[in-house]
Amino acid sequence: MRTDLERSPIRTYLDFEKPIAELESKVAELRAIEGENRPVSIADEIKKLEQKARTALVDTYSKLTPWQKTQVARHPDRPHCLDFVNSLIEDFTPLAGDRYFAEDEAIVGGIGRFRGRSVVVIGHEKGSDTESRIRHNFGMAKPEGYRKAVRLMEMAERFGLPVITLVDTAGAYPGIGAEERGQAEAIARSTDCCLAIGVPLISVVIGEGGSGGAIAIATANRILMLEHAIYTVASPEAAASILWRDSAKAIDAATNMKITAQDLDQLGVIDVIITEPVGGAHRDRESIMKATGDAIARALAEFDGKSPAEIRRQRHTRFMEIGQSL
Domain total for the chain? Answer: 2
Mean pLDDT for 92-108 is 95
Is 54 inside any structural domain?
Answer: yes
> Tens digit of pLDDT for each residue in 43-76?
777 788 888 888 889 999 999 999 999 999 999 9
More confident site: 152 or 128:
152
Q: Residues 100, 104, 108, CA angle at the centre, nearest 5°?
A: 115
6 falls within a domain: no
pLDDT band at 326 (very low <50, low <70, confident <90, very high): low
Same domain, residue pair 188 and 229: yes
Residue 1 lies in a domain: no
Are 240 and 273 in a shared domain? yes
Boundary (domain end) residue, out of 63, 82, 98: 63
CA–CA separation, 323 and 183 (whole Å): 27
pLDDT given for residue 28 in this prediction: 79
User: Are 248 and 240 a contacting pair, CB within 8 Å?
Assistant: yes
Residue 78: CATH number of its domain = 3.90.226.10
Q: Are 254 and 280 within one domain?
A: yes
Query: Which comes out higher in pLDDT, residue 208 or 23?
Result: 208
- Mark whether 58 and 106 lie in a shared domain: no
Q: 10 lies in a domain?
A: no
- Average pLDDT on 238-258 reads 89
- Which residue(s) pair with 225 in the sheet? 205, 273
For residue 100, which amino acid is it? Y
Q: 174 in a domain, yes or no? A: yes
Query: Which residue, among 199, 309, 250, has the nearest Cα to 69 in the 3D structure?
Result: 250
pLDDT of residue 8: 46
The answer for residues whose C-beta is within 8 angstroms of residue 69's C-beta and 6 or more apart is: 228, 229, 230, 254, 259, 260
Same domain, 20 and 162: no
On whether residue 326 sits in a domain, the answer given is: no
Q: Which amino acid is present at 179?
A: E
Percentage, residues of the chain above pLDDT 90: 75
Same domain? For 58 and 74 the reply is no
Residue 5 lies in a domain: no
33 and 164 housed in the same domain? no
Report pLDDT for 122: 98
Burial of 318 (0-12, 13-18, 19+ CB in 10 A): middle
One domain, residues 58 and 156: no
Residue 54 and residue 73 share a domain? no
Domain of 57 in residue numbering reads as 15-63
Neighbours of 134 (CB within 10 A): 11
Domain end point (choices 63, 79, 94): 63
Dump pLDDT digits (tens) for 105-116.
Answer: 999 999 999 999
Q: Note whether 32 and 102 are same-domain residues.
A: no
Contacts of 141 (CB under 8 A, 6+ apart): 104, 106, 107, 124, 169, 172, 173, 213, 216
Instruction: Tell me if 9 is assigned to some domain.
Output: no
Position 36 scores a pLDDT of 59
pLDDT at residue 310, as a whole number: 96
pLDDT for res 34 = 64
pLDDT of res. 158: 96
Assess whether 213 and 180 both reside in one domain. Answer: yes
97 shares its domain with 24:
no
- Mean pLDDT of all residues in 311-324: 91
Residue 90 amino acid letter: E
